[in-house]
Amino acid sequence: MKKKIVLFLPAPVSYSREWRGAPLSLLSISRILDKEGYEIKIITRFLSDNPEQEILREVRESICFGISAMIGFQIKDGLRVASLVKKKYPKIPIVWGGWHPSVLPEQTAKNKYVDIVVKGQGDWTFPELVKHLEERKSLRGIKGIVYKEKKEIISNEERELEDINTLPLIPYHLINVEKCITRTEFGERSLIYTSSYGCPFQCSFCVEPIVYKRKWTGLSAERVVEDWDFLSKKYNLDTIVVSDSNFFVDKKRVYDICCGLIKKKLKVNWRNANGRVSQLVSFEPEIWEAMKKSGCVLINVGAESGFQRALNLINKDMTVTDIIKFTKLCQKYQIKIQFSFLIGLPWTKDKSENEKLIQTEYIKTIHLIDQLYKISDRNRFTYYIYLPYPGSPLYNRAVNLGLKVPSSLEEWSHYLLSPEDAFQATNWQEWITPKLARRINMLSQYIFALMDKDTFYLIEDLPDNFWKFIFKRISNMARFLVKFRFKYKFFSLPLDYWVFNWFHKTGKLD
């Protein structure tokens, strides 16, 4: 058997919607094996003309077939492809990893198209597993896996989060990087990068505490600067997209990274770094100045709600005042913010009281967004219906309120809905009305999207055809209407929203 591995990243959204991005989870678990001379084939839908055909061709001589999946459509796509592999090559082990298998490993392992589950950090676990499979050794001593042995499901000892500084650079050369480079409002060539794992905080809706046990490990500042310098020169990048769960955990590291970038005179923007408002408002002015000077152009934060009781319920450890203060700081240093908000927390079994509290969530959040927009009209707001994720503390509370819980891997493939179908969340959350769900979808996907003038660069990336020509003009008119709607908080009779969506979908402009 050749030293060959085939890895697949299923589509995170339906096939009708295009998705692009470097498959970091698969690249990450490949770096040790790549250094040791294994042949690794990484396959995704946007990197392959026919992923099923390519997988079935390549997997024939593979030690195993790996799939990384989050909850929702990725599970559906992964199961479909795994069934093809299992049917044609029943003896090749199928290994699943990623967020969902890490949260529900035993339930995942029960599926007939799953042989082994890698839980949590797979950088060391997966290479160790590959070598055991290659040498036909017992899997009992491998930390961090769940597997089938005959008809029994065996859960091995947990693997603790390990320091990532000993790992090689992500092996981007294993994929067609040009297909993963994207254009943004901040540059023509951006590439995704991870500098840390984990998060030490305890937001009750998040599964980070389950997967990484509230621990955090980050590359040294020197290593991050070296990596960005290398990647920007090798791939002619002007932007690094930071995909860490919490980039700002260690403020000294943040400051040292910024100073290192400035000292190197590295002309590269960095964006999408996830942070926590309560941390960032405590950063000293010299850190903010270094962030701006080093190329920080956008920070992602979970503001979550304008209702203080909601922030307390989800253990956010911040105040509404902190959110306003943070927005003013970013405006001062001309750093854009991508805010995420949620609605529909599981408050109480009293249905009428629940409705009142959710209505309060909505009113106070819209009021806060109004305040933030007046501070700066450059920022972007996203608004989601809260959908409980298994393993998180708030999940059990939601179950007690009537959450209909999937009981198999197949059922979880339908659990996380696309934004367009958000109103269907009422299938699980009986305390959210379809009317409110549709309103939230309209706000996030239409009102807030078009209020962010920077996102108009996306239209330029559309194919040059009749639909692009029309969509440009529709977008300009729609932007005027959404600003009017938000100013007067008039969200009824959304004819413009329906027309906008019709043009968007008919022209296949995703």
Pairing of strands 196-198, 216-218: antiparallel
| 4-155 matches 181-341+356-381 in fold | no
Q: For residue 377, how many other CB atoms are within 10 A of its CB?
A: 12
The pLDDT of residue 243 is 95
Q: What is the mean pLDDT of the chain?
A: 90
What are the boundaries of each domain within the chain? 4-155, 181-341+356-381, 466-506
Q: Give me the residues of the chain with pLDDT under 50, please.
A: 1, 417-428, 509
pTM listed for this prediction: 0.92
What residues contact residue 238 under an 8 Å CB cut-off, 6+ apart?
A: 186, 187, 188, 189, 190, 232, 267, 268, 269
Residue 113 is predicted with a pLDDT of: 98
The C-alpha atoms of residue 341 and residue 419 are separated, in whole angstroms, by: 14
Assign domain 181-341+356-381 to its CATH superfamily.
Answer: Aldolase class I (3.20.20.70)
Q: Provide CB contacts within 8 A for 58, sequence distance 6+.
A: 4, 6, 41, 43
When the candidates are 3.20.20.60, 3.40.50.1820, 3.30.300.20, 3.40.50.2300, the CATH number that belongs to 4-155 is: 3.40.50.2300
- The predicted-structure confidence for 105-135, as pLDDT tens digits, reads as follows 999 999 999 999 999 999 999 999 999 999 9
Look at residue 468 in the predicted model and tell me its pLDDT: 67
